[in-house]
Amino acid sequence: MRSLLLASAALAAVAATPALAAADGPYIGIEGGVSFPQSTDYDLRLRNGTTAVDYDDAYRVRNKTGYDVDIIGGFKTGMFRIEGEAAYKRSSLKSLNVSGPLLDDVGDIVGGPVTDDDFAVDGKVSVASAMINGLLDFGGPELGAYIGGGAGRARVSYDGDKDSAWAYQGIAGVRTAVSPNVDVGLKYRYFRTGRLSFQDDFTIDGEAFETEARGRYASHSLLASLVYNFNSSAPVVVPAMSPAPPPAPVAAPATQTCPDGSVILASDMCAAPPPPPPAPPPPLSSGERGK
């Protein structure tokens, strides 16, 4: 019972704590979720001996749903946020379709039918990127949304080869505060690279081929985010000052009434009564008047 009461008190304290994250200032975060790579069409240059032939849309690559993780760090001021992002995406190959003209030409060279399976690929595609994002943040400290974009560099590994290119992305998301310093949220990201080039060598029925595939990588991602805001804190609650109690009534001092009718403090002395008037002179006798 004691443990239950303590747990209830702790939950009540958490519920009473104001959730006021997303204040102005620096922040860091981690994000992770699923990545949905788009199908990619690659132009191809095929070499066999001294002969080189170019093919448009020679490969169509489809990848399975993969994962996408990143680390972010930035600074928020008012509605605007600027942040740096380091991300990594990875997915597996779902299918590789080779164009008919390419299959026919390779078949003619090797002297027999050729299928998509004869074009062996690594089966994995991974993308490491470093981006700078600019975002507009809407809403209050407890609940909000944001939208923006970013640009940077990406290094893509495909079919055993790697290449780097400039990249850009569009971002939108929602967030909510779970404590004075911590936000959780949901984020959407569209990511796309510039033109990439991948080299590959393979052999079919003893014939050696060299290829250079050129195309772009693009994906959609849905991520959960956890962000720590350094400058956020719960507001300091100043208790309301109760009014001062009224002064206690002062008791009236004790008084006395003097014989002359005046009222004075009981601790004072009444004035001395005035002296009596002098006695009138005695009357004169008649004999004395005749002298």
Mean per-residue pLDDT, 262-289: 71
Q: Answer whether residue 2 is part of any domain.
A: no
Q: Answer whether residue 106 is part of any domain.
A: yes
Range of the domain at 78: 18-229
Q: Answer whether residue 283 is part of any domain.
A: no
Mean per-residue pLDDT, 54-74: 95
Mean per-residue pLDDT, 28-34: 98
Q: Please state the domain count of the chain.
A: 1
15 pLDDT tier (thresholds 50, 70, 90): very low
Q: Report how far apart the first and last C-alpha atoms of the chain are (Å, whole number).
A: 130
Q: Is the pLDDT of residue 4 over 80?
A: no
What's at 278, amino acid-wise? P
- Which region among 33-37, 226-230, 238-242 has the lowest average model confidence (pLDDT)? 238-242
Distance CA 104, CA 217 (A): 27
HEC letters along the chain? CHHHHHHHHHHHHHHHCCCCCCCCEEEEEEEEEEEEECCEEEEEEEEECCEEEEEEEEEEEEECCEEEEEEEEEEEECCEEEEEEEEEEEEEEEEEEECHHHHHHHHHHHCCCCCHHHCCCCCEEEEEEEEEEEEEEEECCCEEEEEEEEEEEEEEEECCEEEEEEEEEEEEEEEEECCCCEEEEEEEEEEEECCEEEEEEEEECCEEEEEEEEECCEEEEEEEEEEEECCCCCCCCCCCCCCCCCCCCCCCCCEEECCCCCEEECCCCCCCCCCCCCCCCCCCCCHHHHC
Distance CA 186, CA 176 (A): 9
Q: Answer whether residue 281 is part of any domain.
A: no
Q: Answer whether residue 140 is part of any domain.
A: yes
Place of tokens 């719960």: 234
Q: Answer whether residue 58 is part of any domain.
A: yes
Q: Answer whether residue 96 is part of any domain.
A: yes
Q: How many CB atoms lie within 10 A of CB 109?
A: 17
Q: Answer whether residue 286 is part of any domain.
A: no
Mean per-residue pLDDT, 215-225: 97
Mean per-residue pLDDT, 251-271: 75
Confidence (pTM): 0.71
Tell me what percent of the residues of the chain surpass a pLDDT of 90: 52
Mind listing the pLDDT tens digit for each residue in 132-187? 999 999 887 778 999 999 999 999 998 779 999 999 999 999 999 999 899 999 99
Mind listing the pLDDT tens digit for each residue in 39-54? 999 999 999 888 899 9
The enclosing domain of 173 has a CATH number of 2.40.160.20
